[in-house]
Structure 1
Amino acid sequence: MAIREAASADGTTIVYRVTGPEGARPLVLLHGWAGNLRNWGQAADDLAERYRVIAVDLRGHGYSDAPESGYDDPKNWAADIAAVLAAEGITSGAVLLGWSYGGIVLSDYLTAYGTGAVAGVIYTGSQANIGRDVPGAVTGPAMQKAIPDVFSDSAGHANRGFAAFGNANTGPGHDKGEDAQRLFGGSLATRPRVRKALFYRTVDNTEMLRTLDVPVLVLHGTADPVVQIDNGRYIAETVPNARTSFWEGSLHGLFIEDPARFVAEVTAFVEDLH
């Protein structure tokens, strides 16, 4: 395992972790809003047995820099991913996997840079667009309930806001306490101003989706209360070459809810790529 960093176009330092065989296909993991590169848990370790897993701390999250502004500019998000790929010498064959807000970030990258370095794309519990009245960008009820408390500087209000997610990130049934607390801790560690800024932008990547020339896998829980399944369906219906796996009754964090199934489905998709 190696912790590395790359300088984005605006000077922001992006921190990322690399695990797995050096010569294997690159699999870039992009976490969600108020998350970090440790969100992926056991699934990342299992995927690293076969792939060169590059788990990124998005700008403003984890150990990456948190600039005062610029979160509303899709070119910044795109440049962050381009900087990581360049730092790792990746010019082709990468698979981009975005969870939740990470799907917006990878879409920003594809809109700006195209698919020259990319062989396939995976959206899990995610969306490609954001903003009021933008297609494929419906805010789920758990997210609606959490706002505005999750934007607050008050620790009490923030805790109350994040509590609205309940077990959305870990799945119904048995409470995966350790995973849940890791996710909550990372969310609270994300600066309140960053949590808020990520929602104050409008981006419509639909035209990119319509012309996307690489295979796409959409993984989504039918009961996802954070990013509703309609957003996943929108991606699948818009891209030319989509494979879908809609998990009946599952929630938002599929890689925590059932890591073995998640790894198996991601692996099957990646192994089919050229």
Structure 2
Amino acid sequence: MAIGEAISADGTAIVYRSAGPAAGRPLVMVHGWAADLRCWGGAADDLAERHRVIAVDLRGHGYSGAPASGYDDPKNWAADIAAVLAAEGVESGAVLLGWSYGGIVISDYLAAHGAGAVAGVVYSGSMANIGRDVPGAETGPTLLTAMPGVFEESAGRAVRAFGGFGDANTGSGGSGVDAQRLFGASLATPPAVRKALFYRSVDNTEMLRALDIPVLVLHGTADPVVPVANGRYIAQTAPNVRASFWEGAKHGLFLEDRDRFVTEVSAFVAGL
């Protein structure tokens, strides 16, 4: 396991962790809003047994740089992923896996840079678009209820707001340790960053329609954070899609059923 740092186009340092066989297919794992590269838990370790796993800290999260502005610009998010791929010398064959907000980020990358370096894409509990009245960009009831408390600088208010997520991220299969790790990462993300990520509107529908590589959609039918309708939108829009909708599952599928998540992702990667 190694920690790396890539410098994005605007000078922001993007930190990532790589693990697994150097000759394995690169699997770039991009976490969601107010999380960090540790959110994947044991699923990342399992995937690293056969793949070259590159887990990224998004700008403003974890150990990556947190610029004062620029979170509303898709080009910045796209450049962050491009910088990591370049730092790792990945020019082709990568698989991009985005969870939650991470799906928007990998979509930003594909819209800006195309799929020349990418062999496949995985959207897990995710969306490709964001913004009011943008298709495929619904916000779930748990997140709506948590706002605006999750943007608070007051520790007490923020803790209570995040506590309202309950088991939305971990589902019935996740542990209390998993939940605490996610809550810790959320609270460690600066409140201004938590808020800034929602101040943008992006429609990547045309990118999805033109995508000429395989796509895997994994989504829980009871996801209260990113509604399953968003996953269905991706599945209905991209031309080469395999979708797996988990009946009754919630938002963090890699925590709710780690073995199933690893099996389905690995099977998709092996079939590329």
TM-score, structure 1 length as denominator? 0.99
Contact 2:174 2:255 in 1 (8 A): no
Aligned residue pairs total 272
1:259 aligns with 258
For 2:81 and 2:155, locate their aligned partners in 1 and report how far apart those are by CA, in whole Å: 31
- Structure 2 matches for 1:79-94, cutoff 5 A? 79-94=79-94
For 2:127 and 2:69, locate their aligned partners in 1 and report how far apart those are by CA, in whole Å: 23
Q: Secondary structure at the match of 2:213?
A: coil
1:45 aligns with 45
Q: Per-residue CA shift, 1:217-239, capped at 9, x if unaligned?
A: 00000000000000000000000
Unmatched runs of 5 consecutive residues or more in structure 2: none
For 2:199 and 2:158, locate their aligned partners in 1 and report how far apart those are by CA, in whole Å: 18
- Structure 2 matches for 1:141-160, cutoff 5 A? 141-160=141-160
2:26 aligns with 26
2:212 aligns with 213
- Structure 2 matches for 1:91-130, cutoff 5 A? 91-130=91-130
Residue identity opposite 2:100 in structure 1: S
2:231 aligns with 232
1:11 aligns with 11
Shift of 1:175: 5.6
Shift of 1:17: 0.1
| Root mean square deviation, CA, Å | 0.6
1:185 aligns with 184
Q: Secondary structure at the match of 1:50?
A: coil
Residue identity opposite 1:243 in structure 2: R
Shift of 1:2: 0.2
Shift of 1:163: 1.2
- Structure 1 residue 203 corresponds to structure 2 residue 196: no
Q: Per-residue CA shift, 1:80-132, capped at 9, x if unaligned?
A: 00000000000000000000000000000000000000000000000000000
Contact 2:94 2:117 in 1 (8 A): yes
Shift of 1:246: 0.3
- Structure 2 matches for 1:162-177, cutoff 5 A? 162-172=162-172, 176-177=175-176
Q: Secondary structure at the match of 1:246?
A: strand
1:137 aligns with 137
1:249 aligns with 248
User: Percent identity of the aligned residues?
Assistant: 75
Residue identity opposite 2:177 in structure 1: E
Decide whether aligned partners of structure 1 residues 272 and 69 sit closer, same or farther in structure 2, where only a CA change above 3 A counts.
Answer: same
For 2:165 and 2:123, locate their aligned partners in 1 and report how far apart those are by CA, in whole Å: 20
Q: Per-residue CA shift, 1:141-161, capped at 9, x if unaligned?
A: 000000000000001110111
Unmatched runs of 5 consecutive residues or more in structure 1: none
Contact 2:174 2:256 in 1 (8 A): no
For 1:109 and 1:96, locate their aligned partners in 2 and report how far apart those are by CA, in whole Å: 10
For 2:164 and 2:32, locate their aligned partners in 1 and report how far apart those are by CA, in whole Å: 17
For 1:3 and 1:50, locate their aligned partners in 2 and report how far apart those are by CA, in whole Å: 19
- Runs of 4+ displaced beyond 3 Å: none
